Structure 1
Amino acid sequence: MDTNLPVTTQPRIVIIGCGFAGLRLAKDLADAPVQVVVIDRNNYHNFQPLLYQVATGALEADSIAYPIRKIFAGQPNFFFRMADVQQVDHARNTLITNIGEIRYDHLVIATGSLTNYFGLESIERNAMQIKSVPNALNLRSYLFQNFEKALLCENPVQRQALMNVVVVGGGPTGVEICGSLAEMRKDVLPQDYPELDLKQMEIYLVESGGEVLGPMSKYAQDKAKAYLEEMGIHIRLNTKAARFEDGKLYYSDTEFLRTENLIWAAGVNGAAVEGLPAEVVAKNKRINVDTINRVMGSRNVYAIGDVANLVTEEMPRGYPMLAPVAIQQAEQLAANFKRLLAGEALQPFKYFNKGSMAIVGRNRAVVDLPGDRHFGGFLGWLTWLFVHLMTLVGFRNKAVTLVSWAISYFSSDKALRLIIRPYKRHDFKDDKGKTNAQQNASTPEYNPPVPAPNAAVVGG
């Protein structure tokens, strides 16, 4: 019991997950008379907004990841256990993990989000995602492996599929990776693969809605779309992916885009944990919480960040799954824990919107600020760089990232084009750690309709 955690008379606050929310909460409780226990399946904090730069060779993985134990070195009330949480036993105030049981006085679920494939099983089995450092490294390897294959391929149709990239999802992640791929096509790949005609490489952005960057302003949407088109990205709006097989992404029974490189950035679900009452878990797997981020019907279980579904009159669909929301919820919950210990009334969560932004490429970014203020271009790009650089954890990560960006800006080069561990689709691991083979073993056989003999071919 308790996996060798020190016995304490102080309240024990157990936090599941060390993303933006879990990290901030644990740090803000440094001076509180509590024992803080963080549980995560990884021993590092991962800065997700820059994963796409790892995937496209702009940054190395250790530039955006930082050891959890090093972050909290010198915080005497902090303890970390690397483990997978299997179930919450709220009747016994106990977590069941793969390393044993851990008792809690207060439990905070900050597990973040998982990729949502909307029931498209062939895409879930075969597409690439960018939700973790291993995902990003796999994607980087896979892209360059396919270019190596393209050099050897004599069939022009197959060669085209190996070079084409389709990104599904027109949110910030989809827009940002498309821009990064376009810059790589222009400045990097011609140096490495002079034997290939890179003008034939097509990059598609597929979005089911009517605009890119849907949650942002009309200014940002139009500006980002114009930037993408300037960079040679083919944008397909109001287009829903249907299935992905044999190097083809179908968006109707007969129409498809030919590619071996499908990147899925179309949606996320909350990463709810097992053991909670079914009625508190929403359809999108987020956990319903009240205004103090306490799980509905619970006395001592809370949820913050992407996994928390806090519905208010102002936010009838819940707060957006964004890092600023997660950080502010963590700060508010830490303050409420201190109020609880002092016997004071708890305060409801109120979100202060500081704005949103997205980068498309060098000197191309869009920024929305409160008060209906918007700007883009070089100033937007500098703003994006500054905010993300300051949000990175650790001085070393900030310094290495700044140097990498400076070299990339002045040399138009991305040096990290390494295939360190060759990737195979059946080696893919999802957000829950399952390989494709394990997924397929537990998934009913998927039998897609056979396309008509005269199926329309788009993109080569």
Structure 2
Amino acid sequence: MTTRPRVVILGGGIGGIKAAQQLANQPVDVLIIDHNNYQVFQPLLYQVATSMLSTDEVVYPIRAFFKKAANVDFMLAEVNGIQPEAKVVKTSHGDVAYDYLIIALGSTPNFFGNQEVERNALPLKTLQDSIRIRSHLLSVFEAAAAETDPEKRKALLTFVFVGAGPIGVEGAGGVSELIYDVLQKEFHHIDFNEVSIHLIGADKCVLGMMPEKLRTEALHVLQKKHIEVQCSMLVTGYDGETLSYRPMSAPKDAPRSTIKTKTVVWSAGVRPVNCLNGFECEKDRGKRLLIEDTIQLQGYDDIFAVGDCSSFTPAGEQRPLPTLAPVALAEGQLAAKNILHTLRGEPLEHLHYKSKGVMAIIGNKEAVMAAGPLRSRGFLAWSAWLWIHLLTKAGFHSNITVTFKWLFNYLSGARLGRLITRPELPGLPEALRNTAEKTVPTDDKQVSKAS
């Protein structure tokens, strides 16, 4: 009996799953390895963090993608390293051999070496992150309601988002609506004039990938939502009590501005995951794996890399393709196609990626969108954002509940997911800690155990 070639895919994100779908029911054996048994739809994580959606509405079981593809299997394991000379992947369940390898491990938050910020800030990258932020946001309001010291209460009611890209803008807008549309009606003894929300970015403007008019519109909407925006700023430290920052153009020894806060949400950049650190191959300045336009890793014919962990700069361009979902989908699909072309002895295809546009949602009925010559803002862009994300997200049943919740929120402004499932706020009063919910609701049981 002839052994079929084995394709191992590291990572069950959108790039890895797209590659596996392309290889489904083809004359290869496919093994997907991931430390989660679900795919996360990351664009909606901020909606879990701000209590609009539940966890099961932004994830989809990996095995469910391949119910009709007997040649695709899944392994729940940690990836510890790659040994290309032996054609082996090191995992928490032992060595896994491959004939072809697709690296689709995504990325992890980049704190740029600032260990103090890394210890104390709240990243928004994983499902566990969104649950933690949700619980943290609700916990600080419970703590503020019982706090009698004005300075401590002010720090509890101060929220800082670092990073002025889509995640920071969408997160800050979502928190503003949670606070002023929902919590303000429920916390009767808090003076909401004490609440402050800050968005701090290193770029010269918010949503730097957008045309200037849309950037200006986004800034205007953020300001209407009581969000103070400061760009061209470098965060220099956060010890859990005080955030310090300075202008990007200022010398290192320049005086720092400070904000007293218990909440810093970090979305200022990403880097490749740690298990790729020891992998010897060509990398860019950000340690991302350099690939050819065939999606093959430079110097390797049998290894492909897709998505956030890879870097490809098209001819004539000065910057690599952005770390966006459409890029990962295109690369994942082409990596799988080129593996099949190789097996058939056919010429390989080359990547010709053309951006379909960029968009960001800032809140209910507020968004900005640029797609080719089309420029849109407000309700139309908001509607397009909702429909595009519904069409992209996996899971028919969850899409029904997501649509219902979006409609319900549009009509009533309610946030149905206001659950404190992980009371981790340092300094939370003991009385509140004792009464906080200690059990995890059904939709959060699995992810709580995994974190």
Provide the rounded CA distance (Å) in 1 between the counterparts of 2:50 and 2:39.
Answer: 20
Report if aligned partners of 1:359, 1:365 keep a CA contact under 8 Å in 2: yes
Q: State the 1:313 CA deviation.
A: 2.5
Are residue 255 (structure 1) and residue 257 (structure 2) matched? Answer: yes
The equivalences for 1:30-41 within 5 A come to 30-41=24-35
Report if aligned partners of 2:9, 2:16 keep a CA contact under 8 Å in 1: yes
Change (3 A) 1:186 1:275: closer
Q: State the 1:258 CA deviation.
A: 1.6
Change (3 A) 1:28 1:313: same
Q: What do the CA deviations read for 1:104-154 (whole angstroms, capped 9, x no partner)?
A: 000010001110111222111100011100010001111111111111211
Are residue 102 (structure 1) and residue 96 (structure 2) matched? Answer: yes
Are residue 381 (structure 1) and residue 382 (structure 2) matched? Answer: yes
Q: From 316, 337, 344, give the equivalent of 2:318.
A: 316
Q: State the 1:277 CA deviation.
A: 4.9
Report if aligned partners of 2:281, 2:289 keep a CA contact under 8 Å in 1: no
Are residue 207 (structure 1) and residue 201 (structure 2) matched? Answer: yes
Question: Match for residue 354 of structure 1?
Answer: 356
Q: What do the CA deviations read for 1:418-442 (whole angstroms, capped 9, x no partner)?
A: 112322569xxxxxxxxxxxxxxxx
Provide the rounded CA distance (Å) in 2 between the counterparts of 1:192 and 1:62.
Answer: 26
Question: Match for residue 337 of structure 2?
Answer: 335
Q: State the 1:273 CA deviation.
A: 3.6
Provide the rounded CA distance (Å) in 2 between the counterparts of 1:313 and 1:16.
Answer: 28
Are residue 391 (structure 1) and residue 377 (structure 2) matched? Answer: no
Change (3 A) 1:276 1:105: farther
Question: Match for residue 12 of structure 2?
Answer: 18
Unmatched segments (≥5 aa) in structure 1: 1-6, 427-460
Read off the aligned partner of 2:44 and give its amino acid letter.
L
Provide the rounded CA distance (Å) in 1 between the counterparts of 2:240 and 2:41.
Answer: 33
Read off the aligned partner of 2:351 and give its amino acid letter.
F
Change (3 A) 1:308 1:246: closer
Q: State the 1:30 CA deviation.
A: 1.1
Provide the rounded CA distance (Å) in 2 between the counterparts of 1:414 and 1:231.
Answer: 17
The equivalences for 1:75-154 within 5 A come to 75-154=69-148
Q: Name the TM-score, length of structure 1 as normaliser.
A: 0.88
The equivalences for 1:49-448 within 5 A come to 49-252=43-246, 253-271=255-273, 273-274=275-276, 277-370=279-372, 372-424=373-425
Provide the rounded CA distance (Å) in 2 between the counterparts of 1:103 and 1:213.
Answer: 43
Q: For the aligned residues, what is the CA RMSD?
A: 1.6
Read off the aligned partner of 2:390 and give its amino acid letter.
L
Change (3 A) 1:424 1:257: closer
Are residue 44 (structure 1) and residue 38 (structure 2) matched? Answer: yes
Q: What do the CA deviations read for 1:243-281 (whole angstroms, capped 9, x no partner)?
A: 012521111444211210000011111236447654513
Q: What do the CA deviations read for 1:397-433 (whole angstroms, capped 9, x no partner)?
A: 211111111111111110211112322569xxxxxxx
Question: Match for residue 449 of structure 2?
Answer: none
Q: State the 1:284 CA deviation.
A: 1.2
Q: State the 1:182 CA deviation.
A: 1.1
Q: State the 1:194 CA deviation.
A: 1.2
Change (3 A) 1:246 1:73: closer
Read off the aligned partner of 2:286 and give its amino acid letter.
N
Provide the rounded CA distance (Å) in 1 between the counterparts of 2:242 and 2:2.
Answer: 58
Provide the rounded CA distance (Å) in 1 between the counterparts of 2:391 and 2:127.
Answer: 20
Question: Which stretch shows the higher mean deviation, 131-140 or 312-321?
Answer: 312-321
Query: Tell me, what secondary structure is at the counterpart of 2:408?
Result: helix
Read off the aligned partner of 1:269 and give its amino acid letter.
R
Change (3 A) 1:315 1:84: farther
Q: Percent identity?
A: 35
Q: State the 1:35 CA deviation.
A: 0.5
Query: Tell me, what secondary structure is at the counterpart of 1:81?
Result: strand
Change (3 A) 1:313 1:416: same
Query: Tell me, what secondary structure is at the counterpart of 1:351?
Result: coil
Q: State the 1:312 CA deviation.
A: 2.7
Question: Which stretch shows the higher mean deviation, 42-51 or 65-74?
Answer: 65-74
Read off the aligned partner of 2:374 and give its amino acid letter.
R
Change (3 A) 1:131 1:153: same
- The runs of at least 4 consecutive aligned structure 1 residues that moved more than 6 Å come to none
Query: Tell me, what secondary structure is at the counterpart of 1:242?
Result: strand
- Size of the alignment, in residue pairs? 419
Q: State the 1:287 CA deviation.
A: 0.4
Provide the rounded CA distance (Å) in 2 between the counterparts of 1:425 and 1:26.
Answer: 42
Question: Which stretch shows the higher mean deviation, 195-204 or 382-391?
Answer: 195-204
Report if aligned partners of 1:367, 1:375 keep a CA contact under 8 Å in 2: yes
Query: Tell me, what secondary structure is at the counterpart of 1:241?
Result: strand
Read off the aligned partner of 1:323 and give its amino acid letter.
A
Unmatched segments (≥5 aa) in structure 2: 247-254, 428-451
Report if aligned partners of 1:17, 1:112 keep a CA contact under 8 Å in 2: yes
Provide the rounded CA distance (Å) in 2 between the counterparts of 1:355 and 1:223.
Answer: 17
Provide the rounded CA distance (Å) in 2 between the counterparts of 1:365 and 1:77.
Answer: 42
Change (3 A) 1:182 1:95: same
Report if aligned partners of 2:25, 2:70 keep a CA contact under 8 Å in 1: no
Report if aligned partners of 1:167, 1:178 keep a CA contact under 8 Å in 2: yes
Report if aligned partners of 1:189, 1:198 keep a CA contact under 8 Å in 2: no
Query: Tell me, what secondary structure is at the counterpart of 1:79?
Result: strand
Report if aligned partners of 2:281, 2:299 keep a CA contact under 8 Å in 1: no
Query: Tell me, what secondary structure is at the counterpart of 2:414?
Result: coil
Provide the rounded CA distance (Å) in 2 between the counterparts of 1:217 and 1:275.
Answer: 36
Q: State the 1:84 CA deviation.
A: 0.5
Provide the rounded CA distance (Å) in 2 between the counterparts of 1:399 and 1:262.
Answer: 33
Provide the rounded CA distance (Å) in 2 between the counterparts of 1:394 and 1:277.
Answer: 35
